[in-house]
Structure formats: C-alpha cells, structure tokens
Amino acid sequence: MSKLRLQGQTAIVTGGSRGIGRGIALTLAAEGADIAFCHYRDNDKAKETVSEIENLGRKCFASECDVSSVSAIKEFYQGAKAALGDFDILVNNAGHNITENFEDISEESFSRMLDVHVKGTFFMTQTVYRDMKLQGSGRIINITSQLAYKGAGTLTHYCAAKGANTTFTRALALECAGTGVLVNAVAPGVTNTDLLTPLSDELLDTLKAAIPLDRFAEVEEIAPAVAFLASPEGSFFHGSCISPNGGEVMF
C-alpha cells in the first residue's frame, strides 16, 4: 500500500501507547492520518508515542481512559473530538489478558476481562458510530484474536471476550449496511510484545509449535492489515475478519 492513503483523515486507536496498538497508531499516522489514542496507566509510553506521531508530521491527542467505563469513554471522545474534529476511523484495540485455570477464575476477573474487551469495544463503537453515521462514512476495525476461532486453555475468559467481539463485528456490519460505515475485524496471532514477557519458556515453545511458520508475528506484520481495511482498497470489506496468524488458524 502506497504512503499517505489516509491523508486528511483522523483515527482513534484505543490502547495505543504500546504493543500492537502503538504499531497501529504509528502506521496510520505514516499513512497520513491524525491520531487520537487512549491508554490506561501508561503515561510514559503514551508521551513517547505522541512524540513519534508528531515527528511524522501528524497531530495527536492522547488521554488516559479505562474503556470499561462508559463515562470515561464519552469523556475521552469529547476531548479527542475537540482536539481533532470528526473521526473517519476507529480501531478498538484496548485489551487485557491473564492466564488462569478455568475453575479458578473469579467473578471479578471474569468481569474485568469482558468489561475491557466487550463492554469497552461496544460502547466506544456506539459513541463514535453515531457521528460516523451522521457524516455518512467511517471505518470501524475491531482487534480480536485467532483464539476466538480455536480457543485456548487457561484463557477461557479471554477467548469468550474475543469471540463476542468477533460476532459483534458481524452483527453491527449487518445493522449499519448502507450507512457508509464499514465494520471489520483483525484477528492477530501471537505477536512479539511485552505481553509475552511474563510467560515461561515452556509455554512460549508450546505456542510457537502450534504455528506452521514456526515463529511469532512482529507488530509491523499486524498493523498493515488495519491500515488496509482503513484505506480506499478496503472499500468492499464489510463484516470480514483478516487474521495474520502464521497459519495457526486457516479459514
């Protein structure tokens, strides 16, 4: 995809201060978009990401936001809109992950997992979608996971949340057809980010063994899928899921 395909557009990326979210924010900025992103208790990394986006010649708005709170979502969106105007692209990337045996998962842990992934995605989308519908255009891209399709032990609550977001993508795509708003998903495979740091070498070897390409993805291999769906070339994708996963799940 050639550069500056998103020139003059504005994008929101939730969880944009590090990992895949940061990669997405930087890739969209490199394609010409101004960026608003939220983060959770990550001020230092957020400042670094803002600086990198501005060094690309783009405007950037960043703010802390716990996406599990609808009031926090609305406050973030109003701040972002005041700073950058209307938005053309929304990427729901904010996430939370922890490995736990199924029988040990507490109500609190379960609720946090679904509140961040499902509630956060749902109400951030609802908030932004209203304006996109009025302007007659927009791209909504939900970051799910290959685990929504294959599942994983010790991640039952995470898989349930990602499965919900995958189905939400399809349902909203049906409801908003004809409004000019396109809704899709990207389901990355295991990716080299700091989320892998706490995992044991044994678990990492097990995860890698399940991937035919015998390696994990790099962030730079995930973010372009989002940029594609946001670009003019993605104009006939609706209710779809792109899954860069090294062959771990084959559709």
Strand partners, 89: 11, 139
Query: Which tokens belong to 19?
Result: 């990992």
Considering the candidates 77, 129, 149, 158, report the single residue annotated as catalytic: 158
**How far separated are the first and last CA of the chain, in Å rounded?**
24
Count CA atoms within 13 Å of residue 200 on its CB side.
4
∠ CA 10-16-211, nearest 5°, is 115
Euclidean distance between CA atoms 191 and 183, whole angstroms: 23
Q: Which helix (H) or strand (E) holds 163?
A: helix 156-176
Instruction: Provide, for the chain, the percentages of residues in helix, strand and coil under a 3-state DSSP scheme, each rounded to the nearest 5.
Output: 50, 15, 35
**Paired sense of beta strands 241-242 and 181-186, if any:** parallel
Active-site residue flag, 129: no
Note the Cα 221 to chain centre separation in Å: 14
Q: What is the largest CA-CA distance in the chain?
A: 51
CA distances from 116 to 68, 94, 165 (A): 5, 7, 11
Active site residues: 158
